[in-house]
Amino acid sequence: MLSVMAMTFLCFCLTDCQKDPVSPGASYDNGLVVVTTEITDVTTTSAKGGGSVTSENDVEVSARGVCWSKEQSPMINDDHTTDGMGTGEFTSTITGLMANSTYYVRAYATVGERTYYGGQKSFMTTAPSTTDPTISVLDNEGYLTDGCVIELYEEYPFGFVAMANEESGAELASLVVTVNDEEYDNLSISGTNYTYEGRLSFSYEGKEIVDEVVVKAVVTDVYGRTGSTSFTISINIEEEELVPYDFSWYRLGNYTTGLEEFGLYWESNMKDVYAQIKPLDGVTLFIFDPSVWSSITTMAEKTALFETAIETMYPVSVYNNVSVSYTGSNYDDVIGTVMPDGEKHLMHITRCEAGASQALGIPFTIYGTAL
């Protein structure tokens, strides 16, 4: 009696407990047959698979597809597709894979609350391509490209088009744009292609005035491979010659007279007696060595002088080096101001005269030249 029961139990397991079959197809006691087809079209991140489901007893198949895993005997709770219902053949697309990795695949069919599996197939994804991503200059009409000549202060559009290598399936990760080796933009990107657009404008800024500019872009994919491109443009720089003009600042009662355009105003002269000058709010005031005056002839030189001053000199809060004399006095002082909008004034003070005998509150005039 014990021998008969043991044989009956063994037979049940062989016909109804095939959860991990190793043959391409698997037959079950309800007449269901699930077959896993060969894996094809393998890339670094995807593959094609599928299977077939047949039934001798017309069981109702509510879902079918394939499931896959890096572990053997994948099941429905692993990654899987849903490719319709009922019996018949079906094709599956397996995605989201890692390059150069082994995967195991089984077809499945769901009947009621139970899932039946076909035989197991395995495959290895391909290694990443060694081809770098590519990037090219965007050649839309009116956009900057190699050899363009531009004008100062004008704004110009430019752009780049980046693409990942199609065979590798790798996505793009970052894009860095530089202008004459200085970083202009640094972006995190994604996808297999990306179009970047920006705008450039040039003026007299910084110590060095250049007439040639190299704009470069470097794209990196998720594997760390890079591609780069650049274009070179020329700037039409015509040195703007500075024309000095004479000025006179007259002080009598109204402390704002004559100085606003330079970012300055008269301070009270109820002292014995000085032409005190202070900057307006937001204006930076510098006192320069007189020797710089004769060397400044162009806008570029003037800009460079102020850039150096901003980096190396302390601004002052008041200019009061000129004392008033009835007979008049000659001076050789150079002061400069930087307005809130960046406009710069350079002034050479050469003389101060009083309008009456020396006394508190007397009118006086400062004379000089501005650049």
DSSP letter string over 291-360? THHHH--BHHHHHHHHHHHHHH---BS-B--PBP-TT-EEEEEEEEEE-TTS-EEEEEEEEEEESSSS-T
- pLDDT value at residue 204: 58
| Alpha-carbon span 299 to 312, nearest angstrom | 20
Identity at 275, one-letter amino acid code: A
CA-nearest of 128, 108, 134 to 120 is 108
Look at the block and give the residue holding tokens 């009061």: 320
| Alpha-carbon span 264 to 258, nearest angstrom | 9
CB 113, CB 71: distance < 8 Å: no
Would you give the distance in Å from CA 103 to the centre of its chain? Answer: 37
CA-nearest of 227, 230, 231 to 134 is 227
- pLDDT value at residue 242: 80
Residue 79, token pair as written in the block: 């990654």
Would you give the distance in Å from CA 358 to the centre of its chain? Answer: 64
The phi and psi torsions of 13 (rounded to 5 degrees) equal -65, -35
pLDDT digits (tens, 9 = 90+) for 108-162: 999 999 999 999 999 999 877 667 889 999 999 999 999 999 887 788 999 999 9
- pLDDT value at residue 4: 37
| Alpha-carbon span 245 to 83, nearest angstrom | 85
- pLDDT value at residue 145: 94
- pLDDT value at residue 248: 86
Domains and CATH numbers, the chain: 2-124 (2.60.40.10), 134-236 (2.60.40.10), 245-370 (no CATH)
- pLDDT value at residue 274: 67
| Alpha-carbon span 301 to 207, nearest angstrom | 8
Long-range pairs of 167-170 with CB within 8 A, sequence gap ≥ 24: 167/43, 167/129, 167/131, 168/44, 168/99, 168/128, 168/129, 168/131, 168/221, 168/223, 169/43, 169/44, 169/45, 169/46, 169/99, 170/44, 170/128, 170/129, 170/133, 170/221, 170/222, 170/223, 170/225
Helix, strand, or coil (residue 16): helix
CB 125, CB 97: distance < 8 Å: yes
* Residue ranges of the chain whose pLDDT lies below 70: 1-25, 129-130, 166-169, 204-210, 238-240, 252-257, 268-274, 324-327, 355-362
- pLDDT value at residue 81: 96
